[in-house]
Amino acid sequence: MEIIIAGNAGFCWGVKRAMKAAEDSTAANQDPVTSLGPIIHNPTIVERLKEKGLHTAKTLDEINTGTVLIRAHGVPPKTMTEIQEKGLKVVDATCPIVKKSQRYAQRLTEQGYQVVIIGDKNHPEIIGILGHTDGKAIVIDTPEEAEKLEIKCKIGLIVQTTHSADEYRKIEDILRKRGAEVFASDTLCFETTRQQSSAVEVSRQVDVMIVVGGRNSANTVRLYNLCRETGVDTWHVESAEELQPEWFIGKNKVG
């Protein structure tokens, strides 16, 4: 059986950067280091970093001492203020591309644009960007929502870094065709976009596709859906133990 690995498989550089920050800060500190939310939506990696001393808290209320690690997704400005008020140290591992999205969102809001964020409204990255507009942005996720959007003024468009590039372009086109004046800030992660393209390319060459990553990872779920849309049998697993022998019966090529 031939196994083909997508050319851009693995963590993006923003996640690698956050994981290095976690490892460096736990090695250098005697005080507790706590990630505000799981540092990555991958339970296997979260558990591995826990063994190295990285704690995880769901909310800031759970952290009263030591260092707070801001994960790659970033946080709203209000959260940073609350961390400082509690007298906690901060290691800010927000992905630079997410930082750019946050700056765009704040600047466009100040300039009078109606900021529209394309992404999952419950994703921490989107929650953080929304906070940089004082909650004034509108969050949509699909072309269908773009068709229904009430257009009152010029629109500043921002997209979740891991969103589908094709869906982003469709939404931008819909808004322009509906007569909106759109300032589009392309804040897609170029590495994630390449990863999606290479996964789709591989899925078209194989008999079965395995997507490995956390089930709570927006990026991994999107990769799974994109591969499945090519028509190939696609399975999403978090670990090798989840692989089932029957998936590979009669299959010659595995992605």
**Whole-Å CA distances, 197 to 82, 191, 208:** 40, 10, 17
What is d(CA 230, CA 200) in angstroms, rounded to the nearest whole number? 7
Choosing from 23, 47, 125, 246, the catalytic residue is 125
| Strand arrangement, sheet containing 208-212 | 2-3, 253-254, 208-212, 233-237
Task: Tell me, letter by letter, the H, E, C secondary structure of 152-210.
Answer: CCCEEEEECCCCCHHHHHHHHHHHHHCCCCEEEECCCCHHHHHHHHHHHHHHCCCCEEE
User: Are the beta carbons of 219 and 10 closer than 8 angstroms?
Assistant: no
What is d(CA 193, CA 77) in angstroms, rounded to the nearest whole number? 28
125 is catalytic: yes
What is d(CA 150, CA 119) in angstroms, rounded to the nearest whole number? 18
Both tokens assigned to 24: 């460096």
User: Are the beta carbons of 6 and 255 closer than 8 angstroms?
Assistant: yes
Residue 140's DSSP bridge partners are 118
Residues annotated as catalytic (active site), given as ranges: 125
